[in-house]
Structure 1
């Protein structure tokens, strides 16, 4: 896991712990990166099995 992937993972983890899903705008503000970079990091984390999106509940599962 790269440093940026770890940062995105920790942001998602910490926000979902309190029942919130981070929006793209929140992720962009907290990381200082572009939407494309964030999407690539999330896709990589999903392919590695670190993150999963629960379509039914509309929330990240870690």
Structure 2
């Protein structure tokens, strides 16, 4: 897991504990990276099944 992937994972995990899904603007501000880098990191996490999106509940699921 790269540093950016780890950072995005932790942000999503910590914010989801309080029932809040961060917006792309939140992620850009907290990581200091562009939308393209963040999307790539999330795709990588999802491809390794460390992170999944529950469409019904509209929340992240973590490994």
Query: Which category of TM-score, normalised to the shorter sequence, fits these structures?
Result: over 0.9
Which structure 1 residue ranges, 4+ long, deviate > 2 Å from structure 2? none
RMSD: 0.5
Query: Structure 2: 5+ residue runs without aligned partners?
Result: none
Which structure 2 residues correspond to residues 1-62 of structure 1 after superposition, within 5 A?
Answer: 1-62=1-62
Which has a greater percent of helix?
A: 1
Q: What is the total number of aligned residue pairs between the two structures?
A: 62
Q: TM-score, normalised by structure 2?
A: 0.96
Q: Which runs of 5+ in 1 are unaligned?
A: none
Please give the TM-score of this superposition, normalised by the length of structure 1: 0.97
String of CA shifts for 1:1-55, please: whole Å, max 9, x gaps. Answer: 0111000000000000111101100000000000000000000000011100000
